[in-house]
A and B are shown apart, each in its own frame.
Chain A
């Protein structure tokens, strides 16, 4: 009995030590852009190569991961690079070019572990290993320098501005200017090369996509806004369409008071207007008598000032000064945009002439990173990328 017990204890101890020898021998720390990461599956070191969970680095560095289950292939895309890893294979590709790893990516507890150095260097980040603290340090968004000019959609402007403020705070040699002008201007300027990145709140046309590369950076919904004192709470898509086409002219026809409907719109060229026309007006134009405004802020102010006004704006711009009516009974909110029930959800884009490179690509990667999506996109009232 006793012998058995001792044997059991010894075996158990051996198993534990062996296990910890395999894993705990390398409790390697990981710091990305100055922030210590605590992934659910700890990074491991194999043959001198540090393997980290793919999801962690892709989210942190703003890369998009797509899986090919049957081939065991993970395709990781940043704005500038496409890296393909295959589980249990030492060969990988960077923008289609074949390369060889020292240690193959592998699956641990359902997490794909990839070599951090190979990945980070493939996308242009710098990696340092500090032996004394056993820590791998990756610098990507903290290693940006140069100048960036951005303009376009006034819907996206607050996001880009907040991102620019954050990145210029982290990088001494980086200067970013963000301007508005509307989606049309952003697309035109990006194509003409007068800005590095154009912002658009509408899908680009086939013509535009010939020369421009497009990157989705946030989700959004278009809210129909009225004055806070307006008793109307809900509009059907059909009612909304009739209002913006000028067929319904009095609030009493849609359950409001006997008052004229003053339609506020955005100027031609606004991505928000284009998207509205496409989504609920079947590509027809907003009524000609509607008062045009040149930015998301101005249309909101106009609606906030006029008791009988109706307008539309990104849900990121809706605040206490105006009231968003629900559409077909669905409230205009992040939740309904994400679950797809809200009738006017859309994506917001950045575009660059040709594929994004260098600091432009890094800026777009930052916009798509978890940090920006959580702390800027969601906080400003927009909807995170799926």
Chain B
């Protein structure tokens, strides 16, 4: 009898053990990153978040001796690069993604929508380097052709070298990557809206557009928001695809330049880790790149907590009980 009880408890114990292991692994990843980043975090302090100059600093750090490392960094250019590329991409992706998922669920014939959904899910699982290649082959030349002229290049040469690799291209490529995620989660959310809701709307004499805008989308909002949060996560953490099209310089947007800032090179945190890894041999550079990782983790954590808070508020406003 007692033996039977033990046997019955084995799976439970196993599950606890496995969960404990995964928690421990995640915790040790955090510890390792912050341990490696500590020298730079300690030396730079708050200025890490409010000053720029990363490109020059990494060069100085690379040449500094290991005995007297250069550990004072300013990541503002990188942080703004991360937030700008992801923010712009998220905006584009929200517009395109919500529109596309509405079209797929509400307007497209059943067969077409089934086909489109499988294509979207395929896109969502495409390796990011493929998006990077597409960016180099199509987006970069297109942006160059549309916006980059010799006159502009000369005009802004003191600030940056204008080319097709810039904030705009990086944002567009990121949009390509985020849209499938947003669409596939939004489609699920829209489909989950009970049919009776729609019929109630029609019964009140609402048009189809009215039903979608006033009933379906608001009800599906938490699901759509989840898609956007996931998309933002992907955007912030994306390294390879962005590093291929971003221009590789942590240029700090300059208010006096206005919209030209979109044509300036940028360097988000994750892309910085990829691009500067060539200089990893130096202790100071290594610590700086781990600090990039640490800041990424912080941004990610802040965003996901923020998203949770927003979601809670939205649910309250929509009248759901907690």
Chain A residues near B (Cβ < 8 Å):
181-185, 187-188, 191, 205, 207-208, 249-250, 259-260, 262-263, 266-270, 283, 285, 288-294, 306, 308
Contacts and interface: CB of A to CB of B under 8 A. Distances in A.
B277 A185 contact: yes
A184 to B, nearest CB: 4
A250 B153 CA distance: 11
Given A184-B62, A259-B150, 12 more contacts: A187-B281, A207-B65, A262-B153, A267-B248, A267-B278, A268-B285, A269-B62, A269-B285, A270-B278, A289-B158, A292-B248, A292-B275
Contacts of B158: 249, 289
A89 B153 CA distance: 73
Contacts of A294: 275, 278
Interface in B270-322: 275-282, 285
A292 B249 contact: yes
Contacts of A207: 65-67
Contact of B278 (A259, A269, A308): A269
29 contacts: A183-B278, A184-B280, A184-B282, A185-B277, A185-B278, A185-B281, A188-B280, A249-B158, A259-B150, A260-B157, A262-B163, A266-B278, A267-B248, A267-B279, A268-B58, A268-B62, A268-B278, A269-B62, A269-B278, A269-B281, A283-B63, A289-B157, A291-B163, A291-B165, A291-B265, A292-B275, A293-B248, A294-B278, A308-B153
Contacts of B157: 249, 260, 289
Contacts of B249: 288-289, 291-292
Contacts of A260: 150, 153-154, 157, 161
B55 interface: yes
B247 interface: yes
Interface string B155-166: 001111101010
B281 A268 contact: no
A182 B277 CA distance: 9
Contact of B280 (A269, A283, A292): A269
Nearest to A285: B59
Per CB-CB distance, the 9 closest pairs between chain A and chain B, nearest first, are A269-B279, A269-B278, A182-B278, A188-B281, A184-B281, A268-B279, A292-B248, A285-B59, A267-B278
B163 A267 contact: no
B56 interface: yes
A183 B277 CA distance: 11
Q: Which of A205, A250, A267, A268 has the most CB of B within 10 A?
A: A268
Nearest to A184: B281
Interface string B41-81: 00000000000000110111011011100000000000000
A250 B150 CA distance: 12
A259 B275 CA distance: 29
Contacts of B66: 207
Contacts of A184: 62, 278-282, 285
Given A260-B153, A285-B56, A291 B161 contact: yes
B55 A262 contact: no
